[in-house]
Amino acid sequence: MNKQHKLVRLFLGPLFVLCLLPALSNAATIKLDANDSLTATGAWQNIANCYADDGLYTVGNGLANGTRYFRVGLADPTDITNQRITSVVLYAKGYSNNARAKVRLIPYFNGTVGISSASYTFGVTEVTRSFNITAQRAPWTWSDVINLNVQFTPRTAATFYVNHIFAVVTSIDTTDLFQEHYFLFNPIASPETLGLYFPVVVRAMTTPGDTVMSSYNNTASLTDLTGATTPNIVTFIAGFCSVQVMIAQDTVNTMLLVSDGDTSGSSNQFDVINPGLHHFGFGPIGLQTVGVSFPVAITALDFYGDTAATFADKVDLWDLSGTLTPDSSGVFSGGLWTGNLTIYAAISSDTLYCSRTIGGRTYSGKSNGFAVPTGVSGDKPVIPSIKSFGLDISPNPTAGRTQILLAMPKPGKAVLILYNVLGQEVARNEPGILPSGNNKIDWVFGPAQPQGLYFLRAMVDDQAAAMKKLLILR
């Protein structure tokens, strides 16, 4: 049954809601993952890795002229009886090794090329880009969807890492009972920060009545005007949707858009700003030798991978061996720090980590993996004495109960801090004033600390140790 849609603008205090009414109570949002490799030009590796959002990547080198690309088919939709298509949006998630790399998404309909997207930025931080192709078919049929393919076409000479390609199709049930509703967003603050998640609350409201539709349990698509929103599908339970959202493009006057296949709603307008520091990057590190210092370069980077030149602070440093010295950098200048580090234990595969917490947010980075064999003589290296104290853990790995061994040359107030691999504090133990000599502190880790790698740092009289220890919970 055909129904006339009306475009309605509702102004409710500071809220702005854009709606299509009437709505149908049984709209559908379908996600169709890539599932078939159709063609590729250039040496694209592991195309099947883009079939799911699982951290595995299709990898290839693009060219500025767009002649190196790959094309994939999509999974067939199910449960489409009496469903009328209302929108089709293509998505690609991944990154490249070039902060300004560009890519285009091109639909193919039963082998015939459609209209290409604009060139989207596909930089050094993983993003999800979307391309709404609803206007390329009028009306859409399910045969169009079944025969839809997606071509990923780089437009920059760079290496591309593609995590996931998929489409989101929204539709309505043409046999469902008439049911009016609209979407109402809670106000979104402006500005939000590029690359950081922020809370979003949306309610499905009845019309008439303007009350929350408690019977509304549905999924809907979510995007913004930049097409760089995560997540892409949200769920309503009893009329409420509460979700953390991230936008991977700085912009002004964007808004969030939600659609369940028939009814669409929008938030207030807000800006997304690039504040500068987003993460840290290490220069390449090769094979190292126990007890021999080596140069390291660390750069403060923004979301796009450009130098955050305004960062002028220090970062904490550690590695997987727990013997890295020193355990903090010097002050960054122009967003860059270079210095010498030393590792005092052999390890077959090591990684350097750094972090800095500013205003309650932790910024982190890690190096490439590298080996640290013993010296040429094969002698066991001597770890230099630490002036303030000595630190050890037993047993390690531990199933949840361990003993911290703290050797102190003089009395002092001790604090033990546990960090995850992102440099975020997850627990602390404050035994208080301890005497000089060897001290043993029992620590039982509860279920709040899941299995994994952690780093333990000890402080005496607010002075950090020159050595951290790796702690493994199993």
The predicted-structure confidence for 240-266, as pLDDT tens digits, reads as follows 999 999 998 899 999 999 998 878 899
Q: Is the CATH number 2.60.40.1930 carried by domain 6-26+176-273?
A: yes
Residue 408 pLDDT > 70, yes or no? yes
Please state which of the ranges 50-54, 283-287, 397-401 shows the lowest mean pLDDT: 397-401
**C-beta separation of 121 from 248 below 8 A:** no
279-372: CATH topology? Immunoglobulin-like (2.60.40)
Choices 3.40.50.2020, 2.60.130.10, 2.40.128.20, 2.60.120.260: CATH for 28-173:
2.60.120.260
Q: What is the pLDDT of residues 173-188, one digit of tens each?
A: 877 654 578 899 999 9
Domain positions in the chain are 6-26+176-273, 28-173, 279-372, 390-473
- The CATH number for 390-473, chosen from 3.30.390.30, 2.60.40.2550, 3.50.50.60, 3.90.870.10, is 2.60.40.2550
Question: Which residues are CB-neighbours of 135 under 8 A, at least 6 positions away?
Answer: none
Mean per-residue pLDDT, 25-44: 87
The pLDDT value recorded for residue 465 is: 46
Beta bridge partners of 198: 245
Q: How far is CA 365 from CA 100, 130, 355, 411, 423, in A?
A: 20, 28, 6, 35, 9
DSSP state of 63: -
Query: Which pLDDT does position 463 carry in this prediction?
Result: 60
Q: Is the pLDDT of residue 397 over 80?
A: no
CA atoms within 13 A on the CB side of 407: 9
Report pLDDT for 8. 32
| Mode of pairing for the β-strands spanning 102-109 and 112-113 | antiparallel
Cα–Cα–Cα angle for 328, 280, 200, nearest 5°?
120
Q: What is the pLDDT of residue 459?
A: 78
- 468 or 270: which carries more pLDDT confidence? 270
CA distance 317 to 356: 9
- For 317-333, what is each residue's pLDDT tens digit? 999 888 899 989 999 99
